[in-house]
Structure 1
Amino acid sequence: MSLAAGLGLLALASVGWFAWLSPRMNAEASIDLGHGDYVLEGTDGAAFTEASLRGAPTAVFFGFAHCPEVCPTTLGDIDLWQAELAEDGRGPLRTYFVTVDPERDTVEEIGDYVSWVPGVVGVSGAREEIDKAIAAFRVYASKVPLEGGGYTMDHSAFVLLFDDRGNFFEPIRYQEELESAMGKIRRVLEK
């Protein structure tokens, strides 16, 4: 086979991947995002399970109460989103803040941490159940040792939006512009 023919086949394969196979794989992978057999405890007294994603549009964020920057910034963004929704005459977007650090974040601790943001329910539970949820939502979380002892957590920094049937809708990036984030939120609320 000539070099030109080989390059032509490579180009054709690339077009096939980007035009057909990759979007299809991503769409199929997102169908079951958040689905799994995890059972966690919410600060509202209810269990947080796959069923919690159904019934109303929902936002889910994974973080931890000892987070130095990403989590408080994201909670501040969520507070802004809730204020924008209130200005629209809507109630707050149902939001779950799931800890990736259940060893330190009890239900009470995570409840205190999120209590200032309307519509946010803190979620914690046993390590094995948190790990099931992390896998179900396909987020990243890893313990990072600190000099002199102790640790912090490295974790995904996006908010996941789900429609009222519990299907993944789209993510909101860390510190996404307010107008863009609100566009996504309004679309999921109107779906």
Structure 2
Amino acid sequence: MALATKTRVWFTVAGILLFIAVILLSFVNRIQQPRVMSSTEMQINGLYVFDTPRDPGAFTLIDHRGEPFTKESLKGQWTLLFFGFTHCPDICPTTLSFLAKLKQELATTEAADTQVVMVTVDPARDTPEVLAAYIPYFDPEFTGVTGDFIKILSFARSFNAPFRKVTAADGTYELDHSANVVLVNPRGDYHGFFKAPLDLAKVKVTYRSARYLWED
């Protein structure tokens, strides 16, 4: 076989092998990437994302570190926002424990720009000092927020998170409140919400999809 012919054959084989290698690498990379869910699939799995995120407007509250909590506090990262109170016997500690576990299982880059915030619906009892003793138990990076009752009420309404006081015969009281977790995007807008009950695997994949679709 002439040298020129051998050379052509070699280049042809090399080209075929290179093409196969590219296809295989593309396939491996594709199956390693998490599948992005559609908005309908996310909704089926408990995450409701708005077609147009909603601006909650201006607000001024205070966090458990004694720092102002405003619209600016929600900008620059994703926020998982939960309404609860420290005297809550079950839903609140369960949800905060869930969010702590979720953050541990997020990818490094996702966890780095995800903040978790609990806004109290019981500001009469949940002072910054009380929240400072309660919130870090679940995660030192979590933030507890309180403020004047009227401001809390207005803030909760901005995120469709109703709550009401339930007083017992002995004068003690509890708070009925939403168990949903609000999703706030890095512009500080109400992006959607995770409907209770929460499932770790479903929240992880829907949260990742929501982030990807927003950044896309």
Into which bin does the TM-score normalised by the smaller protein fall? 0.7 to 0.9
Match for 1:89 among 108, 111, 126? 108
Find the counterpart in structure 1 of residue 88 from structure 2: 67
Number of residue-to-residue matches in the alignment:
162
Kindly tell me: are residues 164 and 46 of structure 1, through their superposed partners in 2, closer, same or farther at Cα, counting changes over 3 Å?
same
Larger Rg: 2
1:29-178 → structure 2 map (5 Å cutoff): 31-32=53-54, 35-85=56-106, 88-90=107-109, 91-92=111-112, 93-118=114-139, 119-178=141-200
Percent of paired sites with the same residue:
32
Give the AA of the match of 2:76: G
Q: When the two structures are superposed, what TM-score results if normalisation uses the length of structure 2?
A: 0.68
Deviations 1:116-172 (A, max 9, x none): 233310001111211221222221110001131110000011111111112223212
Tell me how far apart the structure 2 counterparts of residues 74 and 164 of structure 1 sit (CA, whole Å): 22
Tell me how far apart the structure 1 counterparts of residues 210 and 130 of structure 2 sit (CA, whole Å): 30
CA-based RMSD of the aligned residues comes to: 2.0
Report if aligned partners of 2:159, 2:190 keep a CA contact under 8 Å in 1.
Answer: no
**Matched residue SS, 2:108:** coil
Tell me how far apart the structure 2 counterparts of residues 181 and 44 of structure 1 sit (CA, whole Å): 28
Give the AA of the match of 2:108: G
Q: When the two structures are superposed, what TM-score results if normalisation uses the length of structure 1?
A: 0.77
Give the AA of the match of 1:170: G
1:2-13 → structure 2 map (5 Å cutoff): none
1:43 Cα deviation (Å)?
1.8
Kindly tell me: are residues 112 and 187 of structure 1, through their superposed partners in 2, closer, same or farther at Cα, counting changes over 3 Å?
farther
1:89 Cα deviation (Å)?
2.5
Unaligned runs of 5+ in 1: 1-25
1:49 Cα deviation (Å)?
1.8
1:188 Cα deviation (Å)?
4.1
